[in-house]
């Protein structure tokens, strides 16, 4: 998929573990790994909102378009 999820970079910048983030935004760790691995087919606006709020960032900091 040409949309890359840069959640790992943002997590390192904020010094947060993915498990912590999953707990804050209320998703399972299994879903968190789906999101990080790029297997996800869609992201709900509510999830994106919660991630941005928890990491204090913009959606563009997490999502990136890379041409195939």
Partner 1 sequence: MTKNTLLNIAIIISRIVKVLFVITAIAITSLYIYVQLDNNLFAEKQIMISKPVISNNYFSYFISGSETYQGLEKGENPFTVSQIEALSLFIYYIKILIVLLLSFIALNSFEKIILSVKKLETFSLKNVKRFRKIGFCILILFFLEGYTVIRFEYGMQKAIAFNYSSLIYVLIIFIVAEIFKEGYALQQENELTI
Q: Please report, as ranges, the residues that interact with partner 1 according to CB under 8 A.
A: 27, 31-32, 34-35, 39-44, 47
Shortest spacing between CB 57 and partner 1, in angstroms: 17
Distance of CA 8 to the CA centre of its chain: 8
**Cβ distance to partner 1 smaller for residue 15 or 26:** 26
> Residue 14 or residue 47: which is nearer to partner 1 going by CB?
47
Query: Which of 63, 52, 59, 57 lies closest to 25 in space, CA to CA?
Result: 52
CB of 27 to partner 1, least distance (A): 6
């Amino acid at each position: 998929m040409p949309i890359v999820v840069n959640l790992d970079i943002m997590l390192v910048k904020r010094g947060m573990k993915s498990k912590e983030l999953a707990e804050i935004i209320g998703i399972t760790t299994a879903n968190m790994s789906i999101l990080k691995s790029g297997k996800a087919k869609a992201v709900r606006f509510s999830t994106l909102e919660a991630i941005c709020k928890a990491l204090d960032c913009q959606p563009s900091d997490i999502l990136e378009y890379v041409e195939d």
